[in-house]
Amino acid sequence: MGRLVAVSVLGIALALLGERLLALRNRLKASREIESVDLPNCHLIKGIEAGSEDIDILPNGLAFFSVGLKCPGLHSFAPDKPGGILMMDLKEERPRALELRISRGFDLASFNPHGISTFIDDDDTIYLFVVNHPEFKNTVEIFKFEEEENSLLHLKTIRHELLPSVNDVIAVGPAHFYATNDHYFSDPFLKYLETYLNLHWANVIYYSPNEVKVVADGFDSANGINISPDKKYIYVADILAHEIHVLDKHSNMNLTQLKVLQLDTLVDNLSVDPSSGDIWAGCHPNGQKVYVYDPNNPPSSEVLRIQNILSEKPTVTTVYANNGSVLQGSSVASVYDGKLLIGTLYHRALYCEL
Q: Which residues are catalytic?
A: 114
Output b/e per residue, 332-352; b: 16+ Cβ within 10 A.
bbbbbeebbbbbbbbbbbbbb
The C-alpha atoms of residue 307 and residue 211 are separated, in whole angstroms, by 34
**Which amino acid, 284?**
H
Distance spanning both ends of the chain, measured CA to CA:
70
Helix axes 188-197, 2-27, angle to 10 degrees: 90
Sheet with strand 101-102: strands edge to edge: 101-102, 151-158, 139-146, 126-132, 113-120
Annotated binding-site residue numbers for Ca(2+): 53-54, 116, 167-168, 223, 268-269
Query: Which of 205, 221, 219 has the alpha carbon at shortest distance from 255?
Result: 205
How many CB atoms are located within 10 Å of the residue 133 CB? 21
Q: Which residues lie below 8 Å from residue 286, measured CB to CB, with a gap of 6+? A: 28, 29, 30, 31, 32, 33, 34, 299, 300
Contact by Cβ (8 Å): 286, 33: yes
Query: Which of 71, 44, 63, 70 has the alpha carbon at shortest distance from 322?
Result: 44
Half-sphere exposure of 57 (CA within 13 A, CB side): 27
Helices (H), the chain: 2-27, 188-197, 287-291
Chain-centroid distance of CA 77 in Å reads 19
How many CB atoms are located within 10 Å of the residue 196 CB? 13
